[in-house]
Amino acid sequence: MQRFIFVLVAAVHMFGLAVAGLGGMGYFVYSKSRIDPVKPVDAIIVLGGEHDGREEYAMELARSGVSRTVVLSNAYGTRNQRMAVFCATKDTRFTVSCIPPVPETTRGEAQFTRQLAEQHGWNSVLVVSWQYHLPRARYIFSQCFDGEIIMRPVPRAYNFSLAEWEYMYLYQTVGFAKAFVQGSC
């Protein structure tokens, strides 16, 4: 019985160290990831996720002259009223396209970006997503798109609990491993 308790305590301790290690690594890799400066591009690509201001941020960038093209990843379906409003945006300074990614993943979004770039002759894109998603999105886009990729986070703070941050870091790390195994588009 003592041996069982010793093994259990050791396992719990090792798990705690692994969680702390993931949290520390995740903080620097994901929460403090590189953010590129804004500059003019051929298109602004908004990755799917929660409606956390990303669509508004892309429109603001387009209004300021960063690009005349905004592409919104629309994995939400036709019943999502917020996306319907964004997709119906009319502005003489830029056009808005809403495209459902296939598959409904970052890889699917990178693939439709590559296809659009080939069709329209794009050499540069600015990609908008969560701060903690930028490193993985940068990696996936670099596997699919040969042009310049500028990564920008949604300008907002996230008030996650420690457990939610740990989950987010783990999710991104597993997603990185999956992207590595999948290779180029």
Element (DSSP H or E) covering residue 73: strand 69-73
**What is the average pLDDT value for the chain, to the nearest integer?**
86
pLDDT digit string, tens, across residues 82-104: 999 999 999 999 999 999 999 99
Residue 178 burial (CB < 10 Å; 0-12/13-18/19+)? middle
pLDDT at 25: 67
The yes-or-no verdict on residue 161 having pLDDT over 50 is: yes
Q: What is the model's pLDDT at position 1?
A: 56
Average pLDDT over residues 116-125: 97
Has residue 21 got a pLDDT over 70? no
Which one has a higher pLDDT value, 159 or 140?
Answer: 140
User: Does residue 20 have a pLDDT over 70?
Assistant: no
Q: In angstroms, what CA-CA distances link 34 with 30, 147, 173? A: 9, 18, 16
How far is residue 49's CA from residue 92's CA, in Å, rounded to a whole number? 27
pLDDT digits (tens, 9 = 90+) for 44-83: 999 998 889 999 999 999 999 999 999 999 988 778 889 9
Residue 9 has pLDDT above 80, yes or no: no
Domains and CATH numbers, the chain: 35-155 (3.40.50.620)
